[in-house]
Amino acid sequence: MSLIPALEALLGKTNVLTGPDTARLSRDWMGTYEGAPLAVARPGSTAEVAATVKLAAEHGIPVIPISGNTGLTGATYTEGGLLLSTERLNRIRDIRPSSRLAIVEAGVILSRLHDAAADHDLYFPLWFGARGSAMIGGVLSTNAGGSNVLRYGSTRALCLGLEVVLPDGQILDLMSELHKDNSGYDLKDLFIGAEGTLGIITAAVMKLVPAPRAHATATLAARSLPDALILLNRLQAATGGLVEAFEYMPADYMTRLEKVRPDLGIPFPAHRDCTILVEVAATAPALTTETAQGTLPLTDLLEDTLAALMEEGLILDATLARSSTQRAAMWARREAAAELGAAVKPMIDSDIALPLDKVETFLTRIAPRLDAIAPGAETLTVAHLGDGNLHFSVYPGDPSKDLYDRVITAIEDIVQDLGGSFSAEHGVGLSKLPSMARRKNPVALDLMRKIKRAIDPANLMNPGKVIPPK
């Protein structure tokens, strides 16, 4: 029996897509990568995933997992491989309020987990613009970040246990609910961030935290990036570490925002060089119970801290959200980043991580390099400044591969010199393979190849991704 009839017998014909029916999953959302999969399999249980992987292995067909299809690096591209969609693995198996954890399958959409946790007065603290379509399997496979990494860490920090289907179809049960376990290697961390190259994540145990009872949000103009870091540290000290988001939107971002989304407005009459969106959140009644004057102590605390910093000259201007509507408007400006980035092409995008005190150095040093390589090129910058993750895009006008490579190399040169990384939260996929070859420690690459060969000797799990050829 050939693979497709065997899959249809296993999963049912409606869950094996071929030909034009694969189109919605074979093309990434940015339109950069458009593949031609042999088929799309849609298993509905871990057992069906295991059987699907085993069938594919018997036929020598590569398996490429796909979740919400919100990736930016071509990690789900294939020509002739089997796309394995996790969209039917969509059960929230359990939420345990007393243990503050959720047991979820890989196809659970992030916003659905947010809603389910909220029903128990809890919160799953992974938050980014694609939360309405990104799925748990995808965010684990890329070790996704987002706006709240500053306080809660990336996806890896939020995961206690995993269920994984290995390349031979075995089911690896690592569904631990333990916060401490020193019984050998922490195998789950091999699969988080591996982008499906070692196995397919089918379920996970994720941490939950108490739902904030109040937020205080402000948009401010700092005098400079170094001053912004002083501001962050002062806010952390004043609030006892309650800063959840500290987002950087410089003048080039605001200029593009005004052009592409004028309906969202700009926070200040003149574009400032260093606009920051800051948000703090609390659960303690002392900070979240309304005062006799009708204010929230958390909001008062943020306002008083910002006022003191303004008196010192560290802040040039500030606007405090006085309602949920105003808070939403502030976040809408920040979460328009993907739309703003895609509004102009060709685009050379980078997703870099830098030590917090080196962000300004990078921006200062890259400007003359770009002027020499691509005179007149526009840039678009936005950052999770609290964790040093900078999304830096260049619009050179010239779409040639040569110019693309020269721009990326210039960015990487400075990032490496400053002790940073060329990949912060979007993963590697296909697009960053050259960067891996150029910049990843050779010993680390060799060890990654050995691990890949040991777990997937036939190289059938998302081949050609993450690890560059030797």
pLDDT at 270 over 90: no
Confidence of residue 379 (pLDDT cuts 50, 70, 90): very high
Consecutive H or E run containing 201: strand 200-207
Beta strands in 373-463 (DSSP E): 378-384, 389-395
Matching residue, tokens 């560290």: 314
Buried b / exposed e along 2-38 (16+ C-beta atoms within 10 A): ebbebbbebbeeebbbeeeebeebbbbebeebebebb
Q: What is the pLDDT of residues 349-374, one digit of tens each?
A: 999 999 999 999 999 999 999 999 99
Q: What is the pLDDT of residues 158-194, one digit of tens each?
A: 999 999 999 999 999 999 999 999 999 999 999 999 9
Give Cα separations from 235 to 44, 189, 245, 283, 390 (angstroms).
Answer: 46, 32, 11, 17, 21
Structural domains in the chain, sorted by start: 3-85 (3.30.43.10), 92-210 (3.30.465.10), 214-337 (3.30.70.2190), 346-436 (3.30.70.2740)
How are beta strands 82-85 and 63-66 bridged, if at all? parallel
* Residue % of the chain over a pLDDT of 90: 97
Span 295-317, mean pLDDT? Answer: 95
Q: Is the peptide bond before 346 cis (omega within 30 degrees of 0)?
A: yes
Helix/strand/coil for 319: strand
Q: What is the pLDDT of residue 224?
A: 94
Q: What is the pLDDT of residue 427?
A: 95
Backbone angles phi, psi at 438, to 5 degrees: -80, -35
Residues in the chain: 470
Span 295-321, mean pLDDT? Answer: 96
Distance CA 48, CA 289 (A): 50
Q: What is the pLDDT of residues 393-445, one digit of tens each?
A: 999 999 899 999 999 999 999 999 999 999 999 999 999 999 999 999 999 99
Q: Which residues contact residue 276 at a Cβ distance below 8 angstroms, ignoring those fewer than 6 apart?
A: 219, 220, 221, 222, 228, 231, 246, 247, 248, 249, 385
Distance CA 115, CA 101 (A): 14
Q: Which residues contact residue 289 at a Cβ distance below 8 angstroms, ignoring those fewer than 6 apart?
A: 296, 297
Which residue type occupies 397? Answer: G
CB 249 within 8 A of CB 387: no
Start-to-end Cα distance in the chain:
36
Chain mean position to CA 448:
22
Consecutive H or E run containing 161: strand 159-165
Distance CA 33, CA 69 (A): 11
pLDDT at 331 over 90: yes
Q: Kindly report the pTM of this predicted structure.
A: 0.95
Q: What's the CA dihedral at 456, 458, 459, 460 to 10 degrees?
A: -90
DSSP 291: P
pLDDT at 282 over 90: yes
Q: What is the pLDDT of residues 212-238, one digit of tens each?
A: 999 999 999 999 999 999 999 999 999
* Residue % of the chain over a pLDDT of 70: 100
Span 269-286, mean pLDDT? Answer: 94
Q: What is the pLDDT of residue 30?
A: 84
Confidence of residue 332 (pLDDT cuts 50, 70, 90): very high
Q: What is the pLDDT of residue 1?
A: 60
